[in-house]
């Protein structure tokens, strides 16, 4: 049975922290974080706080985003995931360890498209992380904050009331 679940910023913060601990425990070295706009922006930014600085530069990891959509303005699933915003042309991913972040893997279509796009840029390793993984998602990220079943999730940045 599906239900509507509303999350607070504090709950999101804890889920991201859990993901970061897992990434660190698995000794994943990350060079660049890429969020899937727009839902992945906030989790990616919080992850950057919890993850260690770059082992090569000692600086915080750079953050970039790609814009993809999987739903129309009426929350109906599109036939095909669309890329609306690509990464900067000068961004070099060859030989880099990339962490791709989004808030939810619902159908998984967005992650499938984003993974295909990033892999075409020849990173050394592509890790994926999501706050919530839905049961029906065909994409299984490397790092999951929480399994969400089939619940309808409302994030604090999406609340309109």
> How high is the pLDDT of residue 71?
77
14: number of Cβ within 10 Å = 14
pLDDT at 2 exceeding the cut of 90: no
pLDDT at 16 exceeding the cut of 80: yes
**How far is Cα 148 from Cα 100, in angstroms, rounded to an integer?**
19
Domain that holds residue 77: 4-158
Query: Which runs of E-coded beta strand occur in 2-124?
Result: 4-6, 32-37, 63-71, 77-85, 97-105
pLDDT at 54 exceeding the cut of 90: no
Strand partners, 154: 6
The values of phi and psi at residue 30, to 5°, are -115, 130
Tokens 């991201």 correspond to 16
pLDDT at 13 exceeding the cut of 80: yes
The pair of three-digit structure tokens given for residue 78, joined into one six-digit string? 């599109």
CB 19 within 8 A of CB 143: yes
Domain with 121 in it: what CATH number?
3.40.50.2020
The total number of structural domains that make up the chain: 1
Q: How confident is the model over 8-13, as a mean pLDDT?
A: 96
| Mean pLDDT, the chain, integer | 93
Strand partners, 64: 34
**How far is Cα 129 from Cα 104, in angstroms, rounded to an integer?**
9
pLDDT tens sequence across 119-156: 999 999 999 999 999 999 999 999 999 999 999 999 99
pLDDT band at 33 (very low <50, low <70, confident <90, very high): very high
Task: Give percent of the chain with pLDDT exceeding 90.
Answer: 77
């Amino acid at each position: 049975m599906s239900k509507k679940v509303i999350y607070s910023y504090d709950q999101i913060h804890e889920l991201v922290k859990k993901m970061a601990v897992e990434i660190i425990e698995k000794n994943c070295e990350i060079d660049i974080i890429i969020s899937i706009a727009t839902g992945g922006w906030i989790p990616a930014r919080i992850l950057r706080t919890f993850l260690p600085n770059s082992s090569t530069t000692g600086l915080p990891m750079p953050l970039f985003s790609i814009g993809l959509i999987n739903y129309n303005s009426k929350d109906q699933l599109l036939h095909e995931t669309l890329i609306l915003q690509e990464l900067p042309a000068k961004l070099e991913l060859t030989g880099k360890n990339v962490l791709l972040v989004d808030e939810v893997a619902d159908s998984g279509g967005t992650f499938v498209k984003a993974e295909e796009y990033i892999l075409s840029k020849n990173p050394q390793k592509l890790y994926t992380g999501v706050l919530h993984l839905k049961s029906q998602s065909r994409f299984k990220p490397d790092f999951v904050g929480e399994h969400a079943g089939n619940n309808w999730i409302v994030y604090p940045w999406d609340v309109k009331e």
